[in-house]
Every structure is written in structure tokens, then in C-alpha cells.
Amino acid sequence: MQTVSKIWMDGKLIPWEKAQIHVLTHTFHYGGGAFEGIRFYETNKGPAVFRLTDHIKRLFYSASVLDMKIPHSRKDLENAVIKLIKAVKLKSGYIRPIVYYGYEKMGLDPIGSPVNTAIAVWPWGAYLGEKPVKTHISKFIRIHPSSTYPEAKLCGHYVNSILASLDARHNNAKEAILLDYKGNVAEGPGENIFMVKNGVLITPKKGSILSGITRDSLKQLAKKLKIQNKEALISKKELLSADEVFFSGTAAEVTAIGSIDGKKISNGKMGPITSSLKDLFTETVHGRVPEFKNWLTYVK
Ligand code: PMP
């Protein structure tokens, strides 16, 4: 990975290589931490963070399900992100805030452990590459909504994502698609999923997914493009017979899905609705769409 000069840790900017934790850090063992993935982009007014307030809000929600009291305000963490981007002098990149139960005690009840916070940024290109991706429907189902809080972005949830990613790799695919416990399409290991059928944009209903900030943004952009869109239950059969399928997410942005388990989606290329949404998304994050400028926090 490409490194930068500093990381923000518990209120201070410290050298990248000094940003370390104790091996008995509670979250390292049990996964009871929360994190975010945010991107910032180059605009004609300098770098701008995309939907910073919404991401930090979700971080606080995620921490709250763990009874974790983050020892900073939301505003403090937003300011810390801006300060860090300025300090490392990047024009664009990825931002990873994480809050975790630290080193003090072991045992599953985390209360009594200190709460630590860190924010890292680094340059990160297209997460799944530029071309339509080969996918595999995983043998692992998405985390069950009665086992956890799917809307919280918790570290431990990502074991499910790692297993699905490895399963995809074992099946010669670049990325996994996970079904929910009822057998309907849920999402990718780190992305939401959309399909297009007869000109209508459809994405799985909330319940077993992390309903992403990119997903929300794309629904609003679809409205602007006068593309009819809805949330619905999607069966595996419906997904396989879709005209277009794509992933959405902060890291993946808009990534077309070329095939699912060896079956091409249309001609395997990016479809027209995916392409128009991707283009408008790109314009938006670079600050070129006036009506969505309030999604950007400029690093001044
Ligand atoms: N689902 C999962 C499981 C994810 O990890 C992510 C990435 N945060 C998403 C969906 C997409 O969310 P967002 O658009 O907020 O990045």
C-alpha cells in the first residue's frame, strides 16, 4: 500500500510508522470495533471529502450498538479528517476512521476497556479495477439480522466478508455476491448491489445489508436522470436475468458486474444506465454538479 507521512491517533498527528497498538487490544481479538471508509476527491477548489458528515454519523451509530462512547464529538472527528488531509498533502484518496476497545482487560464484555480512535488516509485507486467484474454467488449468506446489526459497520462483520471474498477467489471470480438468510440477493462483501431490468433500477431492500451512502447517493442521482428506481426483494433468478448489474460503495464507487457464476450479464460490458449513473457520480464527487455540492466538505 502507498503510505503517507502521518496518522491521526487519539487526538494527535503522529508518524505513520508509529501508529501501533498493543497485541492485547480488545477489538483485535474479538472484532468489537467500528470503522468507516470515506473518499476525498480533487475539485477545482482543492480536495473535497464526499459525504463526510454522513459517514461520521454512521461511525457514531455503529459505535453505539457496542455501547462504545467515542471520546470525541462528531465535529471533532470531521475536523480531524480535514486536518489530516491537509497535513499529508494528498489531493485525493481514501479515509479510514476506526474506533476500538483498547488495551486494559480481556473477556468479551468490553466495558472497562478504553476507547481509542484513529484515522488514516492513503491514496487508493479503483478498488475492483476499471473493467466489469466476474462475480460468484457465495456459499456464505450475509450476516443474519437477528444475530447482529447489519446497518452498523462493525469490524467483526467483515469476517463474513473475508470468507465470501476467499470463496469468490476459489471460484475464479473477482468479487462475491452474498444472499440473505431467505435466499434473496443482499450485497457484496464491501459493496451494495443494483440491477436494471426494462429500464428500472432496483436495489435490495434494507434488512440484511449495510445500506450504503453511495447507494443512497445513486438513488438521488437516478432521480435527477429520471431513471425510475425502487427497493425490492431480488431473487437469484431475477439477478441472473437482469439487463445490467453493478456494485456501489465508497471504495468500489460504481463498478459494473460482467458475469455471475460464468453467466454474462447482457453482453458482459457496462450497460447504459450503469454508465450514465457512474458518469454523474464522478461529476458529483468532483464538485461539478451544483445541486449536490452540499455533499462535499472542502479541505481549506
Ligand atoms: N455493504 C458493505 C458490507 C460495505 O462494507 C460497504 C462499504 N462501506 C457498503 C455496502 C457500501 O457502503 P458505502 O456506500 O457507504 O461505502
Q: Per residue in 203-245, pLDDT tens?
A: 999 999 999 999 999 999 999 999 999 999 999 999 999 999 9
| Kind of pairing between the strands at 244-249 and 229-232 | unpaired
Residue 210 Cβ inside 6 Å of ligand 1? The answer reads: yes
Residue with CA nearest ligand 1 atom 9: 191
Give the span between the Cα atoms of 29 and 65, in whole angstroms. Answer: 18
Residue 150 Cβ inside 6 Å of ligand 1? The answer reads: no
The sign one gets for the Cα dihedral 87, 11, 153, 22 is positive
The pLDDT tens digits for 150-189 are: 999 999 999 999 999 999 999 999 999 999 999 999 999 9
Q: What band does 78 get if pLDDT is binned at 50, 70 and 90?
A: very high
Residue 78 Cβ inside 6 Å of ligand 1? The answer reads: no
Q: What are phi and psi of 296, to 5 degrees?
A: -105, 135
Average pLDDT of the chain, as a whole number:
98
Q: Which residues contact 286 (CB under 8 A, 6 or more apart)?
A: 41, 42, 43
H or E segment at 85?
A: helix 74-88
Q: What band does 50 get if pLDDT is binned at 50, 70 and 90?
A: very high
pLDDT of residue 241: 98
Average pLDDT, stretch 71-92? 98
Give the span between the Cα atoms of 12 and 161, in whole angstroms. Answer: 31
The pLDDT tens digits for 54-68 are: 999 999 999 999 999
Residue 190 Cβ inside 6 Å of ligand 1? The answer reads: yes
pLDDT of residue 243: 98
| Kind of pairing between the strands at 229-232 and 200-204 | parallel
270 grid coordinates = 457496462
pLDDT of residue 29: 98
Q: What band does 200 get if pLDDT is binned at 50, 70 and 90?
A: very high
Read off the DSSP letter of residue 228. -
pLDDT of residue 294: 97
pLDDT of residue 4: 97
| CA 84–ligand 1 middle distance (angstroms) | 23
Within 10 A of 186 (CB to CB), how many other CB atoms are there?
Answer: 25
Residue with CA nearest ligand 1 atom 5: 190
pLDDT of residue 235: 98
Nearest-atom index, ligand 1, CA of 216: 14
Asked if residue 297 lies in contact with residue 78, where contact means CB atoms within 8 angstroms, the answer is yes
Nearest-atom index, ligand 1, CA of 215: 14
Residue type, 106: M
**Marked catalytic residue, from 6, 134, 153, 174:** 153
- Nearest-10 Cα torsion for 63, 66, 68, 74: 20
User: Strands, DSSP E only, in the chain?
Assistant: 6-9, 12-15, 33-35, 38-43, 46-50, 93-101, 115-122, 133-137, 175-179, 185-187, 192-197, 200-204, 229-232, 244-249, 253-260, 263-264, 296-298
- The predicted model scores a pTM of 0.98
pLDDT of residue 291: 97
The size of the chain, in residues, is 300
Nearest-atom index, ligand 1, CA of 192: 10
Q: What band does 2 get if pLDDT is binned at 50, 70 and 90?
A: very high
Q: What band does 274 get if pLDDT is binned at 50, 70 and 90?
A: very high
Average pLDDT, stretch 278-296? 98
Read off the DSSP letter of residue 113. B
| Kind of pairing between the strands at 244-249 and 192-197 | antiparallel
Residue 214 Cβ inside 6 Å of ligand 1? The answer reads: yes
pLDDT of residue 289: 98
Residue 191 Cβ inside 6 Å of ligand 1? The answer reads: yes
Residue to substitute in 159, 210, 221 for testing ligand 1 pocket (most ligand atoms within 8 angstroms of CB): 210
Average pLDDT, stretch 111-138? 97
153 catalytic per annotation: yes
